[in-house]
Chain A
Amino acid sequence: MPKDHGIGASTKRREDVRFLTGTGNYLHDITVHGQAYAVFVRSNVANGRIVSVGSDAATGMPGVLAVFTGADFTAVGGNPAGWLINSRNGEPMREPKRPVLAHGKVRHVGDAYAAVIAASYNEAKDAAQAVADASVIEELPAVVDMAKALADPTNRVHDELPDNQCFDWGWIEDNRARVDAAIKAAPHVTTLELINNRLIPNAMEPRASIGEYFPGTGDYKLTTTSQNPHLTRLLVAAFVMGIPENKLTVVAPDVGGGFGSKIYHYGEEALVLAAAKKLKRAVKWVAERSESFLTDAHGRDHVTRIELACEKDGTFIAFRTETMANVGAYLSNFATVTPTFLHGTLMAGPYKVPNVYVNVKTVFTNTAPVDAYRGAGRPEATYSLERVVDMMCRELGLDPFEVRRKNFITTDMFPYTTPVGLAYDIGNYHATLDKATQLGDVAGFEGRRAASAAKGKLRGLGLSTWIEACGIAPSNLAGILGARVGLYDAATVRVNPTGNVSVFVGAHSHGQSHETVFPQIVADKFGIPESSVEIVHGDTSKIPFGMGSYGSRSLAVCGQAMSNACDKVVAKGRKIAAHMLEVTEADIVFSDGVFTASGTNKSKTFGEIAFSAYVPHNYPLATLEPGLEETAFYDPANFTYPAGTYICEVEVDADTGRVEVASFTCADDFGNVMNPMVVRGQVHGGVVQGIGQALLEHGVYDENGQLLSGSYMDYTMPRADDVPFVTVDHSCATPCTHNTLGVKGCGEAGAIGSPPAVVNAVLDALNRAGHNIAHIDMPLTPSRVWHAMNG
């Protein structure tokens, strides 16, 4: 029987009720008394010198309260990069200032160089258009193509830098000579050049912010669409605005999706705070979708050359990659860690390959900043690996299933340290491959292929065996590698006098279901109903601290902090019980919500202990404090390493090149699963984002730096009729060895593992049909597939 409550139960989500009845509290839904509206004036050229800003044009227009330009922010700080990465030669990366508003130059289409504040949204919008019309921007040649940007730095994104490179990173540099020699001596080398296409995150709620200033106290409040309010507070207060952190509250209410794009601090957040202070009234900004396309941090955008050296029987000898990674016009907060430590460190995959070397050059271009998007570096690594492995199998006539089995790290090898620096604690890659093979009925493929052929369709099957590192940690290692932040999380568990529990967590839920799943854990810990537990998140004035939610870290890092805080509460409860039952603490046993003096029939319920903690009439105060509330900070010893196998079947229409995903099967190892319904939902969503990357989505700039795919008419989002049901299994669980919940992360897996499965399936279909096609770059649009077949 499936569990009906607590850990492992598919508890229905409590947050659904407000979302299903229109009573959610998203940022756009919030109205603050007296609020004014900000509209930004954005560059319509990719690279340009700001000759003059037409602020005067707004003067006297109806409702206009103020116009801000870049000149108003020259005295404050820039929005910093979160990781300092050194080049192979030891030089630190180039980190040009990222201002609140562009000053002197604009560097991408959408770069804001002014903002108009007016009493109503329409008035602000009208005046912003007037300012735009009256401004003079001298257009300069745009830097768009990465190879050209590096080869010829005559045109630069940042005039003060000697070229357009941010850094040239090697991982691990000590491996390089050995890897080069191994590839030179190898019996077979497969070389693949591929593009990991630029994606635009498109959380359904556009970014939005409200700034407030309270003159009586000098306090500020920023309500914003953030995945991590404390990080935003640190960045906007300490780095940009120079506001003491204790004078700024950051609130992230219901947030309509993030997928990475709402991790980062953006200039709009600083602007609304500055405007609120100047005008002494709240200032609200809500992005239009076109602003989201132009200014949310984009994802991926790598150009990679990967070599796989192997024996003739497919035994891997070495991987070597050279990648150009686009960082756009400015460094977004995690832009430098995403293509490096979240990418290069995964380049051994789940394989016992002895030699791996990764080179990444990051390039400034006149495009929107590029940063972590669901998967963040790991989809890029997985795609390169799983594509080149598949290509090698075709070149050598080997079975892609058997080649993977032959090269997998085996269960007796854990803990296993890869040549690129990660220590995998546990996994069972053969088990997930076998499970997916069975669930996907690989044995029945030929029959389905024949049936497709009878309909005139080309059927193919693609495989991807992925691994990822999530819950980025530990802080001490991250610090050595250049992180400017710690990577712990925190939770406070407050048992109220009547025995119900308020839990304050640093993780932020914007779709992840924390409000439902976290109480399942607390309920089990305390032996109380889930309904007695409330999760509080997204408000720096309430929660203890936290690094927010991204990188599949909520449960594995913050959930463990919460679990540890619960353990501390139980420990305090034992002290209280010992006092109440007049026995020693060592004699107290806590089980299923009851503290019992062992060997007696004397006991106190969790509720009785809670009440006593707040009504401490006879406490020995020297040794027993009143109250029942504990906080834990948890800094993990290691990443967690979920892994799995994805199998995709496609049908290709030979006449049009249109690809239809016929089936998609996932066998994942997420360790222990807290709520299977929620975990499956995370995989469904991730897989469809990956199918979107493989077949549909592409952020395209032309040579002038104009975004050609800047609306839903041009950027192809996956829709309900583009995808099938997705088969998901998580039964092959190897619990994480370094957290007590035994959990890994599940949020990004689908987006990491799926693109190569889809592409491999299409190439399988085409090659089985007699086409000799080594590779097609994503997205595999009908046009690209048709041209590959027809030359």
Chain B
Amino acid sequence: MTKVTMTVNGISQSAETEGRTLLSAYLREGLGLTGTHIGCDTSQCGACVVHVDGVAVKSCSIFAQDVAGSRVTTIEGMANEDGSLGVVQQAFQDHHGLQCGFCTAGMVMTTSALLKGNPRPTEQEVRHGLEGNICRCTGYHNIVKAVLAASGQDAVAMAAE
């Protein structure tokens, strides 16, 4: 067991981990941040996406020890300082971009990183950008709409109704 320290949602955190402990398990079990979900264990579903030093990463595909010292942001760190929903989170609620909610954390984290790199994506760029995140409930319709809305575009006009 090794003590691994990193900055998570702006706070320096430490937990004892085995060498084989994945970042997803470190966050969930070591730190109790269960908002990051594990949907497949094999880096294909995207439910576990977090930001490591500002980059979207599937946290089930990286060892906790390998990101020691990094700045990590999880879904728990995405709300505004006053506790209100952040822009991406609010767009997901406004446009019904979630149903069961299990994939949602990963969708929000991926979206946030996507918009940082491409502030006004086209519909096709959004769909391509979300390709690593599986949702079984929404058919992606309202997720894509939410991402377009979060980018400040007229999502209602761009989407079918």
Contacts and interface: CB of A to CB of B under 8 A. Distances in A.
Interface of A: 12-13, 15-24, 26, 28-29, 122, 202-206, 254-257, 259, 288-290, 510-513, 677-678, 680-681, 684-689, 711-713, 717-721, 723-728, 750
Interface stretch (B32-40, B51-59, B62-70): B32-40
B93 A727 contact: no
B131 A205 contact: no
Contacts of B92: 16, 20
A299 to B, nearest CB: 13
Contact of A712 (B34, B40, B143): B40
B3 interface: no
Given A22-B75, A711-B40, A720-B131, 8 more contacts: A21-B76, A23-B76, A205-B100, A511-B101, A684-B140, A685-B99, A720-B126, A750-B139
Given A256-B100, A511-B100, A713-B44, A22 B141 contact: no
Given A20-B98, A511-B100, A728 B161 contact: yes
A204 B98 contact: no
25 contacts: A13-B96, A15-B101, A16-B92, A17-B93, A20-B85, A21-B89, A22-B75, A203-B100, A203-B102, A204-B37, A204-B102, A204-B103, A205-B39, A256-B102, A289-B41, A290-B41, A680-B161, A684-B141, A685-B139, A688-B141, A712-B44, A712-B45, A719-B134, A720-B133, A723-B139
Interface of B: 18, 20, 28, 33-42, 44-45, 47, 74-76, 78-79, 85, 89, 92-94, 96, 98-105, 108, 123-124, 126-128, 130-131, 133-145, 159-161
B161 A16 contact: no
Contacts of A712: 40, 42, 44-45, 134
A252 B128 CA distance: 35
Nearest to A715: B44
B135 A204 contact: yes
Contacts of B128: 720-721
Contact of B75 (A21, A259, A513): A21
Contact of B141 (A13, A513, A719, A725): A725
B93 A13 contact: yes
Contacts, number: 188
Nearest to A14: B93
Given A29-B34, A684-B142, A685-B138, A19 B159 contact: no
Contacts of A254: 100-101
Contacts of B101: 15-16, 18-20, 24, 254, 256, 511
B35 to A, nearest CB: 2
A681 B96 contact: yes
Contacts of A510: 100
A750 B138 CA distance: 11
B45 A20 contact: no
Nearest to A374: B136
Contacts of A678: 96
A676 B88 CA distance: 22
Given A19-B98, A20-B93, A720-B143, A727 B136 contact: no
A514 to B, nearest CB: 11
A600 to B, nearest CB: 45
Contact of A688 (B28, B133, B140, B160): B140
A720 B136 contact: no
A29 B34 CA distance: 6
B92 to A, nearest CB: 6
Nearest to B132: A719
Contacts of A255: 100
Nearest to B159: A725
7 A-B pairs with least C-beta separation? A22-B35, A256-B102, A19-B101, A688-B139, A511-B100, A511-B99, A712-B44
Contacts of B78: 20-22
A773 B134 CA distance: 33
Nearest to B95: A677
A689 to B, nearest CB: 7
A202 B136 contact: yes
A19 B141 CA distance: 18
Contacts of A688: 138-141
A255 B128 CA distance: 28
Q: Tell which of A17, A204, A717 has the most Cβ of chain B within 10 Å.
A: A204
Given A711-B44, A720-B143, A256 B93 contact: no
A718 B99 CA distance: 16
Contacts of A724: 160
A720 B159 contact: no
Contact of B36 (A22, A259, A686, A687): A22
Contacts of B45: 204, 289, 712
A709 B101 CA distance: 25
Contact of B94 (A12, A18, A24, A685): A12
Contacts of A680: 96, 161
A713 B105 CA distance: 22
A681 B96 CA distance: 7
B105 A204 contact: no
A688 B141 CA distance: 9
B131 A721 contact: yes
A719 B45 CA distance: 10
A719 B133 CA distance: 7
Contacts of B41: 288-290
Given A20-B108, A202-B136, A713-B42, A721 B99 contact: no
A205 B18 contact: no
Nearest to B135: A204
A206 B38 CA distance: 9
Nearest to A516: B96
A29 to B, nearest CB: 4
A720 B18 contact: no
B141 A726 contact: yes
A15 B45 CA distance: 22
A602 to B, nearest CB: 43
Contact of A687 (B135, B136, B139): B139
A125 to B, nearest CB: 11
A122 B18 CA distance: 10
A17 to B, nearest CB: 7
B102 A26 contact: yes
Contacts of A23: 35, 76
B138 A289 contact: no
A580 B102 CA distance: 49
